[in-house]
Amino acid sequence: MDPPRNDPSGRWSRNSKTLALWVLIVLMSVLAAQFLRGQEERATDFTYTEFRQQLDADNIHKVTVIDQRRMTGELRSPVSRGGQDRVSFQTALPGDLSPALEEKLLSQGVVVEGKRDVAGWGTILLGALPWLLFIAFWIWIFRTMQSGGNRAFQFGRSKAKLISPEAPKVTFADVAGADEAKEELEEIIEFLKDPQQFARLGGRLPKGVLLVGPPGTGKTLLARAVAGQAGRPFFQMSGSDFVEMFVGVGASRVRDLFEQGKAHAPCIIFIDEIDAVGRHRGAGLGGGHDEREQTLNALLVEMDGFETNEGVILIAATNRPDVLDPALLRPGRFDRQVVVDLPDVKGREAILRVHAKKLPLADDVKLGIVARGTPGLSGADLANICNESALLAARRGGDRVTMDDFEQAKDKIMLGTERRSLVLTEKERRLTAYHEAGHAVIGLCVPGMDPLHKVTIVPRGRALGITASFPEEDRHSYTKEWLEGQLTMLYGGRVAEEMIFGMERVTTGAGNDIERATEMARRMVTRFGMSERIGLMAVGESDHEVFLGRELSTRRDISEHTSQLVDQEVKRFLDEAHDRARTVIDEQRDLLDRIAQSLLDRETLDRDEIALIGKGEELAPLETVEPEGLGAETDAPPVRTPRETKIPLRPLPPDPAVS
């Protein structure tokens, strides 16, 4: 009985038969070549001395000289060789046929002929044998590669990994901050455990679930949790594993993957980063014959084609759903799209609690405060904060992770690593202090702004100073008042430089602020409909290149007049923000000086210190530490140490449309 269609051993048996046939053909060719060569060489071999002896005995009847180098002939009387009488002979001449030898042959009446050496069939086959073997080898490789059954070279075999039930499991208890996604996937697991419960009213199992969300939100972790909860065979594969340099390999691997799935049905197949193979067809330079598109075609057919794959559920993850082919997203293939978005404050706290289970926490750790101070961070970022806090605690020699470790780790992740080794001149420190003080004055005095929580002139990352703030609660939409306040705050640093040091001494420190402000103002005009002159019209770029499937083309979406209006409105928003910042800082010049001087003294101001300065109150004196190695009577000045902040912080909010 033939093995079932989805049995890999059946494919291997068929390929073995094909290989055996080719081996038999090659062996028959070798035997035939040897036989023909033996037929050609069955004449008795004479040495040249024996040939001259037979010639002197007048026993040569006929000779044929071949290329002046070899001679065959017939004897008048047979000679005995190997117990048999032979009349034919062949011999090799020591050189070209000499005139003396030719004269002697003719004088004895020997019939002399001459001919050119022509290779026989045996010689031809033996010479062609390496090429025949090479051609047969590659024919066998391509045939087995296209059929998906070559185990020797693994070309057409799927690279999917079957998750063993004995492997360490990740369950839904290890996943937090994605409650809606967990509910959708729990229902899929119930489908697999008891399909009759849902099919009794005519329903069918979903064929595919697409997990969509930003990077680091836990899409792959959710898939691993499904593998741990389902108790069913679970195949894991990446989208890039399908595509190879050989034509047809990707499609062969897709077919092999689903054949394995059907053999283990009901089961789950997980493809991570499916956009590597599922991109929109017609958008590549390879056209319809592109290897990636052929792989996508095979995937579409296997998911919902002429044959059905009952009991095989495909789960895929991507952070680029906009580039996927529409045929892949339709119901019947991916019946459900589960959005795994950035967590809210409750989700962040739950994620922190999951990752903090392995950490010995001190009594002062309040994960709710850490969660409030990390808006916009993904689950991967929060896991990194927990890991960094544990590393910081180990570095200082502590036996528990404290709240201060969490705050330092959070600042390191969100603001960048402190660069204490970067030495600034006193002039640069003063300029940086006034620049950050300008941002801080706007944040304190302009209504509708997020509360300030940290201002520092300690270099972090690529910035010489940072002004950080975060909202009291998660914000999902942004008002025009808030956006205009952000524009004003972005120009606060540049305005402070202009007012204190003059236009001739402004620096490049505001370069990133100006870039962010320009992008934000352009989106306010072209995307958010906040310009009265432009109105409620989404305006794209004036000129941009688009790919039309076959060639690049330049397309103009708006007229030249509208483009000029857009530029004028963007310029108006920026000028108004600059003028507003100048007005506020001019009115609050004393506050600007006090904040700048405090930064020069302390380097870092936290939320409480900023609030005290805003109220006009004096700050507590700095703690002093005697230099090591010096006695009490030394005249060396005391070392001032800035207070360590214990308030959750975040950087200056970026353009919401960009994020």
Instruction: Tell me the C-alpha distance between 192 and 38, whole Å.
Output: 70
Instruction: Tell me the C-alpha distance between 455 and 622, whole Å.
Output: 17
Instruction: Confirm if 354 and 174 have CB atoms less than 8 A apart.
Output: yes
Instruction: Confirm if 381 and 177 have CB atoms less than 8 A apart.
Output: no
CA-based torsion, 111, 116, 119, 121: positive or negative: negative
- List the end-to-end C-alpha distance of the chain, in Å, as a whole number: 61
Tell me which DSSP letter residue 559 carries: -
CA 249 → CA 157, 278, 581, distances in Å? 8, 16, 62
Tokens 């070309």 appear where?
A: 155
Q: How many CA atoms does the CB half-sphere of 451 hold within 13 Å?
A: 15
Q: Side by side, which strands form the sheet with 452-456?
A: 466-469, 452-456, 604-606
Q: In the annotation, is 183 catalytic?
A: no
Q: Side by side, which strands form the sheet with 234-238?
A: 161-163, 234-238, 267-272, 312-318, 208-212, 336-339
DSSP assignments along 166-194, one per residue: TSPP--GGG--S-HHHHHHHHHHHHHHH-
Catalytic residue chosen out of the listed positions 302, 349, 436, 484: 436
The residues, ordered by sequence, that sit 6+ positions from 401 with a Cβ below 8 Å of its Cβ are 359, 360, 361, 362, 365, 389, 390, 393
Instruction: Confirm if 145 and 204 have CB atoms less than 8 A apart.
Output: no
What residues act catalytically? 436
